[in-house]
Amino acid sequence: MRVYNTELGSRLLLGTAQYPSPTVLAEAVRASGAEVVTVSLRREGAGGGEGFWRLIRDLGVRVLPNTAGCHTVKEAVTTAQMAREVFGTPWIKLEVIGDDDTLQPEVFGLVDAARILSAEGFQVFPYTTADLVVAGRLLEAGCQVLMPWGAPIGSGRGLNNPYALRSLRAHFPDVPLVVDAGIGLPSHAAQAMELGYDAVLLNTAVARAGDPVRMAAAMARAVEAGRLAFEADPMEARDMAAPSTPVLGLPVFGA
C-alpha cells in the first residue's frame, strides 16, 4: 500500500483510544502488525500525555494525528496546525463532524478545510462519507487518499452501504481508499478488503473487545484474507446452482 509516496507493509491502521491500559494498547498494536496509529491531540495532551507519547514512539509506528471532535473549519485547521507542531508530521486525519448523534462528517466544511490544509503542505486523510461528488471535491482540494465511513464511529455495524462503497471504488480505481469507522468484526474488515479497498482503519472494535490483543490479531488476519481474496479475482455470485463435478461423462444407468 502506498499513500503520499510512503509505502506501508500493513493494510490495517489502528486507533489508540479507549484501551483498558497502556500495556494492552502496546500489545494490541504489536499483535495487529499495524504500521500506522491514529492519535488525537486531545488524547495526547491529557494527563500522562508524555508517557503516552513515549509509548507510541517506542512502538516504532508512524503517527497519523487526527482532528477528532472538531465541528468547524477553523477548529479543524487550528488543531491540525497544532498537531503538526506536536508530532512533527505533515500527515493529518481530517475530521469535521456535522452531527453529534451519528458523528457523520460535515462534508462542506471538510472540503474547505482540506483545501486550506493541502495548500499549507499537509498530507490530508479525510474522514468522509461514501458520496461520489464529495469524493471528487476532496480530490480536487488536494487529497490523495479518501477514508469513507463504513458505519457511524464506534457503532460496530460493519458496512451499512456496500453499494456506495463499491461505486466509490469503481469510480476512483487509482485512489487509495480506506474504510474508516463502523467496523465491529473481522468479517466486516474482510468484506471491506474484498470490495477492493486498500486498507481498514478501526479502533473501538479492538479497544473494547474482551481481549483486545486477540481481536487485534484477528483483524490483521481478516484484512490479509480479504486482500488476498480480492487479488484472487473471486467468482461471480449466481442465482442458480452450478455443479462442481462436470455432468459430461457421468455414467447413465437404465431402469
Closest to 180 in 3D by CA, of 189, 169, 191: 189
**Helices 132-140 and 162-171, packing angle to 10 deg:** 40
Known binding residue 23? Answer is: no
Closest to 33 in 3D by CA, of 8, 53, 52, 50: 8
For 147, other C-beta atoms within 10 Å of its C-beta total 26
Known binding residue 38? Answer is: no
Known binding residue 204? Answer is: yes
Known binding residue 26? Answer is: no
Do residues 98 and 106 lie in contact, with contact meaning Cβ atoms separated by under 8 Å? yes
Known binding residue 182? Answer is: yes
Positions marked catalytic: 93
Rounded to the nearest 5°, which phi and psi values hold at 179? -75, 125
Cα–Cα distance for residue pair 21/235, rounded to 1 Å: 43
**Helices 22-32 and 212-231, packing angle to 10 deg:** 20
Annotated binding site: 154, 181-182, 203-204
Annotated binding site for 1-deoxy-D-xylulose 5-phosphate: 154, 181-182, 203-204
